[in-house]
Amino acid sequence: MTLSHAAKEMGKWCDGITGVEGSSGYLALVVFTAVGWLWINDSLPFQTNGATKQQTEEEEEEETPDPPRNFTIKQLRNFDGTVDERTDEKKPVYLSVNGTVFDVSNGRDFYGPGGPYEVFAGRECGAALATMSFDEKLLDDVSACEKLGVGDRNELENWMEKFEHYRCYPIKGKLVPDDKLPNPDRIMTMEELEKYDGNLQDVPEEFVGYGAAPIYVGAGNKVFDVSFGGVPMYGKDGPYQKFAGKDVSRALALMSFDPKDLENTDVSDLEEKKIKVLKDWINTFETKKGYPVVGKLGKQDLE
């Protein structure tokens, strides 16, 4: 059947249904008008390169990188490419070069388990790479990079250049050595706590080597810096930014965003069940998340 013959048959069918001669032309006009309106208003799933609008939006979301974060030595060790026992999935492979943390997961064959450089996975290895050494003493020591001679220093810069511009490994943040962290026993005032409420865009100059501005959250008698992995949650416009820069002991215990609970720091009137919830949060912050304790609130420790 030819195209013209098929069109005539379709026209007869439309005329028979509607009882109006030539109705197929009106029907076609209506269809094309509707399709045109949908296309103009971006309501049809048509996009360039054959991709749908939804697919394009999802790809854009996937490509949006996480904001820079800070890492402790202990946190970085977790990103060694081994299988996560909780999810049965392979962990990313991160390593630090002179304090800059790279995601080298695309080089898993080299830096992941079984690779020739697997000893560097989850470690600071700048001095080791610069001197082409696998000496354990050179690992996790950012200060060792400062002690390199001119030749080794040039080699270190070559590795940095290779990772960032040749291999294009994503930079995830900065490694902050333990001796650069604030004293966990210092007593902090509410005014000091409020300074680090997730709104700082630039790293204060006193926090040398940080990749993200500190974000403090008080719980119990402890102050945690949640910029060590919690920037998307507690940073600017994050879902938990209301907790940043505050002692949120009561709010955590009650699982509450109520402004009254955010402003009230007293938990003495809460039942033991609620206190346990608070203790669980503190344990999550300190043990599971590994947020460093950067001070105390001068309150009595929870027993």
> Residue 234: pLDDT above 50?
yes
CB atoms within 10 A of CB 199: 14
β partners of residue 95 = 102
Across residues 278-291, what is the average pLDDT?
Answer: 97
| pLDDT one-digit tens code per residue, 76-114 | 999 999 999 999 999 999 999 999 999 999 999 999 999
| pLDDT one-digit tens code per residue, 29-68 | 344 334 333 333 334 333 334 445 455 455 545 567 889 9
SS3 for 134?
coil
**Mean pLDDT score across all residues of the chain:** 86
Contact 188, 222 (CB under 8 A): no
Separation between Cα atoms, residue 145 and residue 175, nearest integer Å:
13
SS3 for 219?
strand
Q: State phi, psi for 132 to the nearest 5 degrees.
A: 50, 50
pLDDT score for 251: 97
CB atoms within 10 A of CB 169: 23
C-alpha closest to that of 225 among 210, 214, 234: 214
Which residues, at least 6 apart from 240, have a Cβ–Cβ distance to it below 8 Å? Answer: 230, 233, 234
Indicate whether this model's pTM tops 0.85.
no
> Residue 165: pLDDT above 60?
yes
Of residues 196 and 59, more confidently modeled? 196
Going by pLDDT thresholds of 50, 70 and 90, the confidence category of residue 209 is very high
> Residue 5: pLDDT above 90?
no
pLDDT score for 125: 98
pLDDT score for 302: 81
Which residues, at least 6 apart from 191, have a Cβ–Cβ distance to it below 8 Å? Answer: none
Separation between Cα atoms, residue 9 and residue 75, nearest integer Å:
72
Contact 124, 140 (CB under 8 A): yes
Distance of CA 236 to the CA centre of its chain: 13
Per mean pLDDT, which range of 24-33, 171-180, 255-264 is the poorest?
24-33
pLDDT score for 64: 74
Beta pairing class for 222-225 and 293-296: antiparallel
At position 47, the amino acid (one-letter code) is: Q
Separation between Cα atoms, residue 48 and residue 201, nearest integer Å:
36
Contact 79, 122 (CB under 8 A): yes
> Residue 16: pLDDT above 60?
no
C-alpha closest to that of 152 among 130, 124, 125, 126: 130
Separation between Cα atoms, residue 113 and residue 41, nearest integer Å:
51
Going by pLDDT thresholds of 50, 70 and 90, the confidence category of residue 183 is very high
Going by pLDDT thresholds of 50, 70 and 90, the confidence category of residue 301 is confident
Separation between Cα atoms, residue 175 and residue 172, nearest integer Å:
10
